[in-house]
Amino acid sequence: MQGFMIALLECSITMSVIALLYMAITPLLAKTFTAKGRYYGWLVIILGFIIPFRLHPHVSVIRLDALLPALKMSDGGSARQAVSAAAASSAIPWQAVAGGLWLAGVVVFLAYHAIRHRRFLQMVTRWSTEIRDRQALHMLHDVQAKLGIRQQVALQACPGISSPMLLGFVRPTILLPSDDILSDELPLIFKHELVHLKRRDLWYKALVLVAAALHWFNPVVYVMARDIALQCELSCDEEVVKNTDIAGRQQYVEAIIGMLKKQSVAPTIFSTNFYGSKQGLKNRVLSIWIPEAKNGGCPLLRSLLRRR
């Protein structure tokens, strides 16, 4: 257990440094790489958090042994042996306690999200109704065909949500709020959610959840998760407005800002959300309205800044 905990902490510290550096250079990367490239760049770091391997113990970026206080050792001893000897002579088996606390934290973290997800599914099952409107279904199937998605996607309305979202790993469903949505906005909404489906973003979110569960004690993981969520939406917006004229971009931005009044949040981690978050809305609008947004020439952006 002691060896596992030391390896876990070394992994957490090392990958945290890498994650913080990646976030720091993101503005520079934005000048060269697309939002999609930056989004998938996070995947390598996420896997580094989940798989705490090292090429060789002597070449790890950060060694926890080096961070421990200097201990008196015999000439042939090592820092790791000294720590083991101290732990063995201690009345309290700290490695067992630390391992137990870590495992309890993992269980509580996963249980919290599992219960939250289950409650949301129960709400959706109870209140959602299948949408049979031919025009809406035709729009959905048309966008599916353009994106090359052959998988069957259900379309439902649910009064318990305030923003369109994608739900379901095996049987994907697009949920629409019960409020009326303009018909000319539906193709944009469908494309946004179907891009998430095509890229398997729900599975990506599952990997982020696993990393957060393993490193629940590390605050950097939560900051990283928020940045990944933002990059996810930025890359999705990038795909939606690709080859779109100014009028199409304006319509898309208006649809996103229209969700601002409802202040929607994702009710479960295993769902996408058309609105995303208020914190990332400004960045999304800036990304869509380039260069108009950068020089302040976008009236929608000025309206957004006033609301903030």
Q: What is the DSSP letter of 59?
A: G
Task: List for the chain the helix, strand, coil content (%; round to 5).
Answer: 65, 5, 30
pLDDT at residue number 169: 92
- 141, with CB counted inside 10 A (0-12, 13-18, 19+), is middle
Q: What angle do CA 302, 226, 177 make, to 5 degrees?
A: 65
pLDDT at residue number 37: 93
HSE, CB side, 13 Å, CA atoms: give it for residue 257.
21
- Given a cut of 90, whether residue 199 has pLDDT beyond it is yes
pLDDT at residue number 261: 61
What residues contact residue 108 under an 8 Å CB cut-off, 6+ apart? Answer: none
Q: Are strands 173-177 and 165-167 parallel, antiparallel or unpaired?
A: antiparallel
Cα separation of 300 and 297, whole Å? 9
Q: What percent of the chain has pLDDT over 90?
A: 49
Q: Are strands 154-158 and 173-177 parallel, antiparallel or unpaired?
A: parallel
- Write down the pTM of the prediction: 0.80
Q: What is the pLDDT of residues 28-75, one digit of tens each?
A: 998 889 889 999 999 999 999 998 755 444 445 555 555 555 444 444
Task: For 170-237, give the DSSP string.
Answer: SS-EEEEESS---GGGHHHHHHHHHHHHHTTHHHHHHHHHHHHHHTTT-HHHHHHHHHHHHHHHHHHH
Which comes out higher in pLDDT, residue 267 or 298?
Answer: 267
Cα separation of 205 and 224, whole Å? 12
